[in-house]
Structure 1
Amino acid sequence: MEPILFYGVPSGCSFGSIVALEWLDQPYRLCRIDMPEQVTSAAYRRINPVAETPTLMTASGTTVSESMAIMNHVGARGIDKGLGFAQGTPEFDRLNQVLAYLNTSLFSGFAPLWYTLEHDVEQPAKDTLRAYGTAALTKAHADLEAMLEGNEWLLGQQRTLADAYFIGIARWTKYHDVIDRRNYPRVQGLFDKLEADPAVQFAHAIERGEPAHSSGSFKGEVSLEEALGLLKQVA
């Protein structure tokens, strides 16, 4: 069977994994997981016990969870396309470094903002959380602006899976009006370039449930029940 990516909606960080699979251009399927209801269900916990997306079910029926792990899995299959690099090389270490930075700094900077949006938080606590998130994202954008000096992409002159992960997170500024990306012209330039990428446009359409135009590697969506059935077959 083709690998299946379980992606979360609305606006899950799994967006970057969809982009990565499109860039890889090898057959795959998608399984839409509604958050928070379906992602916390007993059925989905059979795929990912910690009830988070994304998770990738490989062709052999094993599962890989967490965006960084999925990016490295895809990267190992996309070395010939420059999406990833051989383990033990300086390029591999650099890619891991940037992926980790995006996860620990850019992603986590949004965490307190998401909390205030999704929970009933009293105003003093809300102000504190927003201030913390704003400070973290301001620093992260400044760091990324410096990282991009002289570079077309996050790792240099060719796109990698770090760029796919970046666009899935960077788009969250539309929900949280705490920084103006235009103050960081290199970051804004990378964002705009990625937003125009066919794989990114495909991922947006998939999330919105609209007709989506793939590179040709996307083989359709399966339901969670269908995916669990396939998991039984390969177990």
Structure 2
Amino acid sequence: MYKLYTRANSGGFVVEAALALAGVSFDQIDVPKGRLDQAFLDISPLNQVPVLILPDGRSMTESAAICILLAERHPEARLAPAASSPDRADFLRWMFFMSSVTYSADLRFFYAHRYTTDPRGVDAVKQAAVSEMDRSFAILDAALEGRDWLAGDRLSLADIYLVMLVAWHPEVAKVPTAWPNIERLWANLREHRVMKRLNASHDMWPA
């Protein structure tokens, strides 16, 4: 059985979605924010969630990587385009793009103090982070032009990953006008049964 270390309104949202969509059982352990625990540091050296403990006891961090692994281990759930599908390239491209660009910008905004040694530089770090978020969402919005999903003709974890990230935007009210294609995808997912259930515990967007 899987074991997931997570907390509300964190990157664990997309991993919980993956496990739910795959229909697999898992134990969930909530990790209080800011708490330093050596046992947790042993499996997450950066003291970050999510961490997925695999059935063989090994631990895995990085939400995008966890999602890709779960999609591979549970192909019947169709969490991602198959490895042999032409759409697999888009899935991998956007998962890594969002992980390295958008998620990174979110971290710089919410934890700006970690990214400067000058306390007076915190606001500048935040401003640059928002600009990077906006730039990445513009790219993703363009990729959704004329299509319903980021990779292929059906929902994948890339779409859920995107919705999670856009929900964290500090100026989320501008999403419908700034990125209408992302808003269209997000509106569809807000009605998805699994997304509704998870949002009830994560409070990612207004119900």
TM-score normalized by the length of structure 2? 0.85
Other-structure match for 2:104: 108
TM-score normalized by the length of structure 1? 0.76
Which range is displaced more, 193-202 or 141-150?
A: 193-202
Task: Return the alpha-carbon distance in structure 2 between the equivalents of residues 72 and 138 of structure 1.
Answer: 25
Does 1:203 pair with 2:198? Answer: yes
Residues 186-207 of structure 1: per-residue CA shift (max 9 Å, x gap): 1111122222222122222333
Other-structure match for 2:148: 152
Runs of 4+ in 1 over 6 A off after TM superposition: none
Task: Return the alpha-carbon distance in structure 2 between the equivalents of residues 12 and 117 of structure 1.
Answer: 19
Q: How many residues align?
A: 202
Other-structure match for 1:64: 60
Unmatched segments (≥5 aa) in structure 1: 209-235
Q: For the aligned residues, what is the CA RMSD?
A: 2.6
Q: Percent identity?
A: 20
Which structure is higher in RCO with an 8 Å CA cutoff and minimum separation 6?
A: 1
> Per the alignment, in what secondary structure is the counterpart of residue 159 of structure 1?
coil
Does 1:128 pair with 2:124? Answer: yes
Structure 2 counterpart of 1:4, one-letter code: K
Other-structure match for 2:6: 7
C-alpha displacement at 1:122, in angstroms? 8.1
Q: Residues 7 and 83 of structure 1: is their aligned pair in 2 closer, same or farther, counting only changes over 3 Å?
A: same
* Rg larger for: 1
Other-structure match for 1:221: none
Other-structure match for 2:28: 30
> Per the alignment, in what secondary structure is the counterpart of residue 121 of structure 2?
helix
Equivalent pair of 2:60/2:66 in contact (CA under 8 Å): yes
Other-structure match for 1:180: 174
> Per the alignment, in what secondary structure is the counterpart of residue 49 of structure 2?
coil
Structure 1 counterpart of 2:199, one-letter code: H
Equivalent pair of 1:14/1:168 in contact (CA under 8 Å): no
Aligned with 1:90 (options 52, 66, 86): 86
C-alpha displacement at 1:157, in angstroms? 2.0
Unmatched segments (≥5 aa) in structure 2: none
C-alpha displacement at 1:49, in angstroms? 3.0
Residues 153-189 of structure 1: per-residue CA shift (max 9 Å, x gap): 111320111112222222112xx13771122111111
Structure 2 counterpart of 1:166, one-letter code: L
> Per the alignment, in what secondary structure is the counterpart of residue 153 of structure 2?
coil
